[in-house]
Structure 1
Amino acid sequence: MALQIRSDTGVSHVQNNRLGSIGTGLVLIFCLVLVLVPFGVQLFNALFEWCLVQRSHHYVQQILPAVEQAVDLSSLSSGQARISPLTARRLIGQLFEAHLPSMLRGRLYMESLILDERILSFDPDHWMGDRQPSYQPIAILEARLDRASGGHILITHAVEILID
């Protein structure tokens, strides 16, 4: 013979505890969701921004080698590689805007294209002899990625034109 204790409502004590533990569990789950949802949203936004930065780096690296099309052919025939600044800026600017991915449109902007030269030392054993290049052109592309939080990230990549 089992002895059961009943409350004023007529529900046994075991069933009353079970109902209480379900209610407590639901309240605990609700509070946990209220705490974790903002962290999840923040994590999602951080991952999306990381993807934008990675895609921006990839895009700038993809566009920059096109600067070789702006090499001045008359100076190249004399053994010197010179990049025409007007042609390079126009070409890279047009390519940058024309092929910008939709996820970066309105977020990634071309800041500047810097054309520089690195002086090369004279090598008496060079295969070109006295016509060997005296400098090596370098193109540096700077782009600005605007963040949703209001700041911006500067993305810089460089390419060297090798003539050998």
Structure 2
Amino acid sequence: MSNVKTQEVLNQAVADLSQFSVVIHQAHWYMRGKSFLTLHPKMDEFMDGINDHLDVVAERLITIGGSPYSTLKEFAEHTKIKDQPGSYEKTMDDHLNNLLEGYRYLRELCAKGIEVTEEENDHVSQDIFIGMKADIEKTIWMLSAELGKAPNL
């Protein structure tokens, strides 16, 4: 059975997870204000989580015969997560809302991955997307709670 769509969605995840790690890092560097002492180290946890998912996704892609994007140029050309210049003018809520938007996008990418891997009967890759989606939804809940909102999943 062909796994072309599974390879494509895994590689999309490689580009997006790589880009999103940079977005989180930017928030880590540029945040100022209330909750800094709590949120600054939390960004390290978020980056570690994203990078852990990235490694699993890339290794799965290699395992099934694919070639993960591996250059900054490839990540930039293929990611669907926008970047923007860092700014000290952004509030803590601005940073968190930006992260929330990125996590919501990744949640939808995982949903697509779950569909594609089911179609191509790759339950190992599907399990990776299911686990990542669960982790991302928990993070969406936490970020939403910090912002005084419901997660609206």
Using structure 2 for the length normalisation, give the TM-score: 0.30
More strand by share: 1
Q: State the structure with bigger RCO (CA 8 A, min sep 6), 1 or 2.
A: 2
Structure 1 or 2, whichever has the larger Rg, is 1
